[in-house]
Amino acid sequence: MKALHDKIAKEGLVVSDQILKVDSFINHQVDPEFIMEIGQAFANHFGGQNITKVVTIEASGIHLAFATALKLGVPFVYAKKKKALTQTGGVYSAPVYSFTRQESYHLTVSKDYLSAEDRILVIDDFLATGVALRGLRDIILQAGATLVGVGIVIEKSFQPGRKELEAEGVQIHSLARIQSMSEDGILYVSDEATL
């Protein structure tokens, strides 16, 4: 997605050869118009696949899932990182290790909001090791729902997430695919699908 490449070039900060900071438009401050463009790009790609719900993880997935769900005309559900006292009807849950925070947590989704009839599109900001996506996929499986596909804003293709999940049959569509990065710049995967 050209607009995303441009935005990363202008505002992204390569913190190390492993970590990209995009706090000015996705992860801390949010650029709403740009997030709506991202939602539209995912809706263009996954529209027509009878998605009934978009699922993401709090907090950085919420605005991305909101924009995508709005464009697809379906609700979205965000998995919580801590079980809330209001989740009284039972939850689906899966353990996850956070790459950026270097800590473990349990994802939970109330059983009220996912069912076996659901066809799910998962949306997230980054794909790195794929651990977070595995947690969400676990929850979707527990609900008996169908995982139609995964939409990722920025994929770090040099980390194993995509390869491993694709080998397990997960359909992944990333708007930017980084092959490598350093303080000299960012190199994108050459056959990246652009929208």
Q: Is 20 in the site for ligand 5GP (CB under 6 A)?
A: yes
Backbone φ and ψ for 80, nearest 5 degrees, come out as -90, 150
Q: Is 79 in the site for ligand 5GP (CB under 6 A)?
A: no
DSSP string over 91-131: EEEEEEEETTTTEEEEEEEEGGG--TT-EEEEEEEEESSSH
Q: What x/- string results for residues 132 through 171 when contact with ligand 5GP is judged by CB under 6 A?
A: x----------------------------x----------
Q: To the nearest whole angstrom, how small is the minimum distance from the Cβ of residue 122 to ligand 5GP?
A: 11
Q: Is 188 in the site for ligand 5GP (CB under 6 A)?
A: no
Six-digit token string for 177: 């695919």
Six-digit token string for 63: 């605005």
Complex with ligand 5GP: residue 43 or 152, whichever CB lies closer:
152
Q: Is 128 in the site for ligand 5GP (CB under 6 A)?
A: yes
Q: Is 4 in the site for ligand 5GP (CB under 6 A)?
A: no
Query: Are the C-beta atoms of residues 93 and 106 closer than 8 Å to each other?
Result: yes
Closest to 188 (Cα-Cα) out of 29, 5, 3: 5
Interface ranges with ligand 5GP (CB under 6 A): 19-22, 27, 60, 99-100, 124-132, 161
